[in-house]
Amino acid sequence: MLNLADHIELERPQDKLIRRLCDTLGDYLDQDQINECVRAYEFGANAHSGQFRKTGEAYICHPVSVAISLAEMRMDARGIMAAILHDVIEDTPVSKIELAKLFSPEVAELVDGVTKLTKIDSKSHAEAQAENVRKMFLAMANDLRVIMVKLADRLHNMETLGAMPSEKKRRIAKETLDIYAPIANRLGMNEIRHKLEALGFQAMYPMRYAILDSAVKKARGNRRKIIDTIEGSIRIRLDQANLPCNVVGREKHLYSIYQKMEHKKISFSDVFDVYAFRIYCDNVDSCYRVLGIVHNLYKPIPGRFKDYIALPKANGYQSLHTVLMGPYGVPIEIQIRTHEMHRMSESGIAAHWLYKSDDDKPEKFQARANEWLRDLLEIQKMAGDSLEFIDNLKVDLFPQEVFVFTPQGDIIKLPRGATVVDFAYAVHTDIGNACVSAKIDKQLVPLQTKLENGYTIEIITASWARPNPLWLNYVTTAKARSSIRTYLKHFKQQEAIALGRRLLEKELQAMHLHLESIDPDKIKALLDALGMPNFDLLLEDIGLGNKMPFLIAKRMSQDDINAAVKLDISEHRDKTPLIIKGTEGMVITLAKCCRPIPGDQIIGFFNPGKGIVVHQHDCPNKDIRKKNANWLEVEWSDDAKGDFPADLRIEILNQRGSLATVAAAISNQDSNIENVTVVDQDDKISIDLITLTARDRIHLAKIIRGLKELSVVLKITRVKA
């Protein structure tokens, strides 16, 4: 039989840790909540069974150590459970759904949130991207407890770095100093921040850390007398004023000393010659009274006073800072704050409530900040599972921004509501101009898809692609909007010039002339007569329909450029048709009234400023030809390809599933529905106008035949008006 001493000797490290966790939780949670945490431990230990850390200890020791750190900050029960389980989704076969069933959806969401943040770890962090990574961490966590678990996780990883190779140590240390310590600072969690900075500094620069640590220990003995003298003087003055305050000599942190030496390019003695003290008061009024007393005791150094009580830092930090010239000519840094402010500065999580929103006035913002700080401290004092505390932790930290990844792991910051097209232009203008589709987390999505935090986006481009004017309806960034407009304006201009050249050459050929054979002096005289600065502008005007190609060609063929053209152009114009493919772009458009497709007899009209609009020959608007001489013979090219819209008027039985049957039949014929409008409907019949795509008249006829075979379809006609 084992005695107690033998039992303790055989006890596993994880058993000691869970007992320590339960003891800590016992200070502020009830027994039922502690039992739930133990149940989470048993589940986690089983899930991680057979897994070990590089230190050789069982893997479960790590999440329990993380939970202990959070328990010391009085984290609620579900936050502790999430800390114990924070690696099970990532490192074991356990799913989020399983966690939700066994524990609660809230615990499952917290664990899933930590897993998502861990995935950011695996991305490459360029130094210039550190601020975006920090913001992304904050933005991706809907619940601040996720970040608190992640910070505690990183703290324990830093404490157990010893088993890692030196190169990996430095990489993790740099990430800790660049990403995690600033996040802890942003959330007002200074105790964790200082620990992360010290461990990160030691792992990143072990020699510098050792030298600085040794220098601080040597210098400490010589400073003791000066510290005691200053501390004694301050205490005497406070007692005389009947102000009960605590005065504490403050030791500077090694990383803080190193940063000052590095950034200000000063020596260790210059940094360490500054003596630092904190004075803790009972209330805010006492803080300002103490400030007056120390300013009377030692002379303040001008420009070195900061009032963070009236104007707190962004992370909720509050304190009065002043620098005085003390005895022996040494500078003294003094921080004056209430006990409440000190507790907040060590483990506060107030960051996001202090972000100023667009509609906040300064006084409203300040009042809200102070009120929240008071409320949070009250809530933290309460034992157990405070629903109000949990609700307060669920926030959107950056309501105006989203952070997304490129496939290479770079982070792009965009305004909320931004789409895939905005992302493409943010990466590069050429990628935006050539994008045709995109993948989000390896799934194909439409270009108008709105982005959410954490998406990894891959843009698919094509050499033939160009910006679509419809993109302007949903892009949100100025860069995307201006790039699209600039491209379209330039592209339309180039198209108009090319079309103008084709039209002019066609008319000249009818007169047995060629553009190349026209005397340049004659062209210059014509440009002068028309007030055109260059020939391209004239071609653009022809292409846009502002000038008739027949009239310009006629003037070019005349000896006298300025002679009026008095011919009946409807009789003398070239009857050779202009060959089109239907994909020319913005200067040749297909009329929406009759929607011509390859195979239809067509005719073109010059529309000033827009180019040529192509109609069917039997379009109801054909009387334009009688009223207006600006028409042109056009024909479809034999190799016209593409998907062209066509309108069908369909009468179907008004019964459940009829429209779905019609849609399926259209899809089976390799066509796509662009729009459906219900024109008329009663109990028996529904008359619908369907806009679908067809390659040509033959394809459209095949679609119509397929639809006529459906029992629900009563009548089909192609709409031409």
Does the annotation mark 91 as catalytic? yes
Most confident option among 250-259, 500-509, 582-591, 648-657: 648-657
**Which position has the higher pLDDT, 163 or 41?**
41
Q: Measured between alpha carbons, how far is 283 from 281 in angstroms, rounded to an integer?
A: 6
Label residue 302 left, alpha or beta by phi (over 0 means left) and psi (-120 to 50 means alpha): beta
DSSP one-letter code for 218: H
Torsion angle defined by CA atoms of residues 565, 569, 575 and 577, in that order, rounded to the nearest 10 degrees: 90
User: In angstroms, how far is CA 501 from the centroid of its own chain?
Assistant: 46
Residue 293: is its pLDDT beyond 90? yes
pLDDT at 365: 35
| SS3 annotation, 157-216 | HHHCHHHCCHHHHHHHHHHHHHHHHHHHHHCCCHHHHHHHHHHHHHHHCHHHHHHHHHHH
pLDDT of residue 189 exceeding 70, the answer is: yes
Greater model confidence, 210 or 129:
210
Who wins on pLDDT, 137 or 542? Answer: 542
Please report where in the chains the tokens 């063929």 appear, as a residue: 557
**Res 279 pLDDT > 90:** yes
Three-state SS letters, 95-163? CHHHHHHHCCHHHHHHHHHHHHHHHHHCCCCCHHHHHHHHHHHHHHCCEHHHHHHHHHHHHHHHHCHHH
pLDDT band at 359 (very low <50, low <70, confident <90, very high): very low
Average pLDDT over residues 143-165: 85
Answer yes or no: is pLDDT of 216 > 50: yes
**Mean local confidence (pLDDT), 176-198:** 82
Instruction: Provide the pLDDT for residue 583.
Output: 61
The pLDDT tens digits for 525-534 are: 777 777 788 8
Indicate whether 381 pLDDT > 50.
Answer: no
Residue pair 696/599 in contact (Cβ under 8 Å)? The answer is: yes
Dihedral of alpha carbons 611, 617, 622, 624, sign:
positive
What distance in Å separates the CA atoms of residue 647 and residue 341, rounded to the nearest whole number?
71
| Class of CATH domain 207-348 | alpha beta
Catalytic residue among 72, 90, 178, 584: 90
- Mean pLDDT, rounded, for 210-215: 88
Q: What is the average per-residue pLDDT within 552-573?
A: 59
Q: Is the pLDDT of residue 3 over 50?
A: no
d(CA 578, CA 549): 12
- pLDDT grade for 704, boundaries at 50, 70 and 90: very high
Told to judge if 90 belongs to the known catalytic residues of this protein, a careful annotator would answer: yes
- Of the listed ranges 15-24, 171-180, 282-291, 353-362, the least confidently predicted one is 353-362
- Tell which wins on pLDDT, 536 or 437: 437
Write the pLDDT tens digit of every residue in 9-22: 446 888 888 999 99
Domain 11-204 part of CATH 3.40.50.300: no
**Residue 339 reports pLDDT greater than 70:** yes
Residue tagged active-site, from 15, 57, 72, 91? 91
> Is 50 exceeded by the pLDDT of residue 54?
yes
What pLDDT does residue 43 have? 93
Buried b (16+ CB within 10 A) or exposed e, 531-570: ebeebebbbbbbbbbbbbbbbbbbbbeeeebeeeeeeeee
Q: Round the average pLDDT of the chain to a whole number and report it.
A: 79
pLDDT band of residue 369 (cuts 50, 70, 90) is very low
Superfamily of domain 644-718: ACT domain (3.30.70.260)
pLDDT of residue 629: 56
First to last CA, the chain: 99
Q: What is the pLDDT of residue 375?
A: 46
Question: Among 46-55, 326-335, 604-613, where is mean pLDDT lowest?
Answer: 604-613
64 pLDDT higher than 90:
yes
Q: What's the mean pLDDT in 26-50? A: 90
135-146 pLDDT tens trace:
666 656 667 778
**pLDDT grade for 129, boundaries at 50, 70 and 90:** low
Q: Please provide the CATH number assigned to the domain covering 401-476.
A: 3.10.20.30
Structure tokens at 342: 């000190």
460-505 pLDDT tens trace: 988 878 888 888 888 988 888 888 888 877 776 777 777 778 777 7
The residues spanned by each domain of the chain are: 11-204, 207-348, 401-476, 485-636, 644-718
Q: What is the pLDDT of residue 396?
A: 43
Question: What is the value of pTM for the model shown?
Answer: 0.53
* pLDDT given for residue 112 in this prediction: 86
